[in-house]
Amino acid sequence: MSVELPFAPVDGIIRRNAGELRVSADAAEELARRIQTHGAELAVDAAERATADGRKTLMAADFGVEQVVSREDLTLPVAPIDRIARLRIDDRYRVGVDARIALADILEDYANNVASAAATLARHADRRTVQAEDIETYFALFE
């Protein structure tokens, strides 16, 4: 599976939550892969809600978002989020701009939660670097 999301913003999210810890490239790649999978799953659910409403355009409300944040407040880029949203939905669907931003916000919160827990796991293991295994361990424990 190719990863649509660039690793640099994901690395930035991990660093923001890791404090003094370093971040391995593998950790950023693993989290980017997990973000992509989660985003594609959320888009499938949103597409089902849009279909139930008789629409072919996904809106922020389809992702459970009532108020959309400003695009400038996001770390994750919106264009790759759009591609992630389209990975597992039919080509007949469109993803509205507000839906892209809403999904990016949801995925950024998701990434922050995972990154924070991964940093805690790295500290607990008495390491100075957040590694892919910390991301994997988080999902093994909590999903």
Q: What is the CATH number of the domain that holds 62?
A: 1.10.20.10
Res. 1 pLDDT band, cuts 50 70 90: low
Residue 95 located in a structural domain: yes
State both tokens at 50.
């849009």
138: phi then psi, degrees, rounded to nearest 5: -55, -50
Domain that holds residue 43: 7-141
pLDDT in the model for residue 109: 98
Residue 2 located in a structural domain: no
- Alpha carbon of 68 to those of 2, 16, 113, 115: distances in Å? 28, 22, 20, 23
Burial 97-112 (b: 16+ CB within 10 A, else e): ebbbbbbbbbbbebbe
pTM for the model: 0.96
What angle in degrees, to the nearest 10, is found between the helix axes of 97-124 and 78-85? 100
Residue 1 located in a structural domain: no
Q: How many domains does the chain have?
A: 1
Mean confidence (pLDDT) of the chain: 96
Residue 115 located in a structural domain: yes
